[in-house]
Every structure is written in C-alpha cells, then in structure tokens.
Amino acid sequence: MNRRQAILNMQQILLKRREALRRALAGDLSLLKEIKTEAGGDIVDFALDSVQDELSSKLAELESRELLRVEKALQKIDEGQYGVCEGCGCSIPLARLTALPYATLCIKCQRQAELEDQGDDSHDVDWSRLSDAGGSDVDLTINDIELDVS
C-alpha cells in the first residue's frame, strides 16, 4: 500500500473516531446538565455523585481535546499537509500515524519537545522534604506536618 492510500485509510479512521467522540461528548454533557434537587439521601450518596460528576467532566475534557486533534488532522488531509512534521517539515512515518493518527510531530521532534518540557523547574521540586527558610538545622518531612481539618 502506498502512502496516499494509507492516508485515505487514516482519513476514514479519523472520521469514525470524530463521530464516536462527538457522540460520547453529547452523552457526557447531557449527564452533566442534570441537576438533582432532591433534599433526601445521605452525605455518601452526595459525595459519590460529586465524584461521578467530576470524573465525567474530566473525561469530557479529554475527549474534547482529542476531538480537536482529530479535526485538525482531517483539516490537514484536506489541505494536503497530513503526515508532515510541524517541527522539521519531514514526513511522519506511517507506523507513527497508524499508532497515533493525529500526530503532528515526527518522533525526533516529539522527543525534543518532551525534553524541553522536562526542563521546566516545576518538575524538579522535591516536596517530600521541607525546610525552614530561616536556615534551621531541623529538616521536616511531609509526615511531620499536622493539619487541622475541623
């Protein structure tokens, strides 16, 4: 199979995935719109409902992001730019596109982007040990801290 045929096959996969994501999001959003106004029920039921709503919301957020990536890939197919790395302009290997149909970077550029993200200082913080800013010789671990939750 040549690259053009593989891209046409990928387009069909992306169209099916887009439709599945749209249906899933429509269902999740309708669930999120339901508001229970019953005064009855215990606190555990309320907590479980809250957790379920939060999970549904996060899932909808992830599905929305994937839907945007799928639509961008379909647009690139229409423009004739699908499978071209946004970093270096080289062709993204078909094996990568098969594994991740909405990939926008080749493996080399993706690795470089991940390395740049790792350079962010927020990843280097060790929160397991805390020390007083005044230069005290006493080290505290997170387990030494008492929290008042009343």
Dihedral pair phi/psi, residue 3, rounded to 5°:
-60, -40
Q: How confident is the model at residue 76 (pLDDT cuts 50, 70, 90)?
A: very high
Arithmetic mean of pLDDT over the chain: 76
Across the range 111-130, mean pLDDT stands at 68
CA 119 to chain centre: 20
Say yes or no: domain 3-118 is CATH 1.10.540.10: no
Q: What is the pLDDT of residues 36-45, one digit of tens each?
A: 444 445 666 6
Q: How confident is the model at residue 144 (pLDDT cuts 50, 70, 90)?
A: low
Written as one letter, the residue type at 98 is T
Q: Could you tell me the residue ranges of all domains in the chain?
A: 3-118
- CA–CA separation, 97 vs 91, rounded Å? 10
Q: What pTM was estimated for this model as a whole?
A: 0.58
Q: Which residues contact 14 (CB under 8 A, 6 or more apart)?
A: 70, 73, 74, 77, 101, 102
Q: Which residues contact 130 (CB under 8 A, 6 or more apart)?
A: 139, 140, 141, 142, 145
Q: How confident is the model at residue 108 (pLDDT cuts 50, 70, 90)?
A: very high
